[in-house]
Amino acid sequence: MNNRIYLDHAATTDMLPEVAYAMEPYYVKKYGNASATYELGAEAKRAIELAREVISASIHAKPNEIFFTSGGSEADNWAVKGMAGEQKMLGKHVVTSQIEHHAILHSCEHLEKLGYRVSYLDVNRDGIVKVEDLERLIQEGERSSRVQDKISLISIMYGNNEIGTLQPVEMIGALARKHHIAFHTDAVQAVGQVPLSVKRLPVDMLSSSAHKFHGPKGVGFLYVREGVKLPSFIHGGGQESGKRAGTENVAGIVGMAKALSIATKEMEKRSKEITGMRNYFVKRVMQEIPEVRLNGHSKKRLPGNANFSFYGVSGTALLVLLEEEGIFASAGSACSAGSTSLSHVIKAIEVPKEYAYGTIRFTLGRDNTREELDKTISVLKKSVKILRQEE
């Protein structure tokens, strides 16, 4: 479909030509195993370490604080399960939020089966966690003598993948650090989109995934602050300082570094452009379509995210009508797009039922144009009208 309009960049992004070009030699000519001692292997090893330097510089970390993974889900699982296991003698209470990605929520459910206590913080109508509830849990844990009450890990995402709301991560991190509690943030939607500095951000661990910023699929990284003890997640060889076994995805790592380098250099300009287009899109939708809600905070949100709930329509049916016109959006997280149940995020922010099932997420990217948004608005108005008439 040549005239397609892609508005689902939170699900994945297209790989930049420069990224593919940087990766290609490591599939064809520079194909050595980075663990080999001869020159072909050493060449691959040098490429990995250079990528580590580029990636660490982009978030103001040290190279030895970056560990490569297969993506954001692995990084999230490693951070939550690994740190919970490492800290279990100090506390078996993990705190997260109701609106986390399923990689976090399902990891926490796994811990609950192992006897851990997990608290899921409420969020307000904008999808922002209630820090006062976190403070209360910390104080209760400090007063208690039970290991299940003492908090050993807090995991709160940086920006929500469905409604785009940015969390008060600095405030939460400062609170965690004050009470000597490990703090992880799932920054999969934020890295490459908004400025991030682990020198300023009081986090112990941070997850990222390359395909969210025009890099390849199947590769990501976990930042682990120097001095934080995180056990190995995959056992085998001595790759990644003995922390994550397995032959390295050299081409993917090189591509991720190239993509993040470009995203970092262009961030200020791109963010301003995308935010401007998003605001234009949101304003027109809210003004021109009756009975519609914008989900998430109006300003404290990821640059390209616009999540709407339309009264009295089926989001699934609306997506079908949009796709017939070559417009691609989603009903929420791509990781749960096949589910017919209501999004846990939309439930958590208490969207009324008559609106909730008509929820659509649009996420803009670097190549979207105002003309594309104008067409999308036109099709959206027509489609909502059709579906409401069918009720």
DSSP 132-149: HHHHHHHHHHHH---TTT
Is there a contact between 132 and 122 (Cβ–Cβ < 8 Å)? no
Amino acid at 351: V
pLDDT along the chain (391 residues), means of 10: 88 98 97 95 97 98 98 98 94 97 98 97 97 96 94 98 98 97 98 97 98 98 97 95 96 98 97 98 98 97 98 96 98 55 94 96 97 98 93 58
Structural tokens at position 271: 């963010």
CATH 3.40.50.1220 fits 17-263, yes or no: no
For residue 69, what are the β-bridge partners?
A: 220
5-13+267-383, which class in CATH?
alpha beta
Q: Cβ of 350: how many Cβ atoms within 10 Å?
A: 11
Query: Rounded distance, CA 97 to CA 186, Å?
Result: 12
Catalytic residue numbers read 335
Query: Rounded distance, CA 122 to CA 144, Å?
Result: 22
Asked if the domains at 5-13+267-383 and 17-263 fall in one CATH topology, the answer is: no
Query: Rounded distance, CA 6 to CA 172, Å?
Result: 35
- Which of these, 325, 330, 271, lies nearest to 303 by C-alpha position? 271
Residue 127 neighbours by CB under 8 Å, 6+ apart: 99, 160, 163, 165, 295, 296, 297, 345, 348, 349
- Which of these, 165, 143, 145, 141, lies nearest to 153 by C-alpha position? 141
Query: Rounded distance, CA 177 to CA 171, Å?
Result: 10
- Which of these, 309, 313, 306, lies nearest to 292 by C-alpha position? 309
Structural tokens at position 337: 């797009």
**pTM here?**
0.95
Residues in the chain: 391
User: What is the predicted pLDDT for the residue at 61?
Assistant: 98
> Within the chain, what is the greatest distance between any pair of CA atoms?
70
For residue 66, what are the β-bridge partners?
A: 223
Helix (H) and strand (E) counts in the chain? 12, 12
Query: Rounded distance, CA 194 to CA 302, Å?
Result: 8
Which residue ranges make up each domain of the chain? 5-13+267-383, 17-263
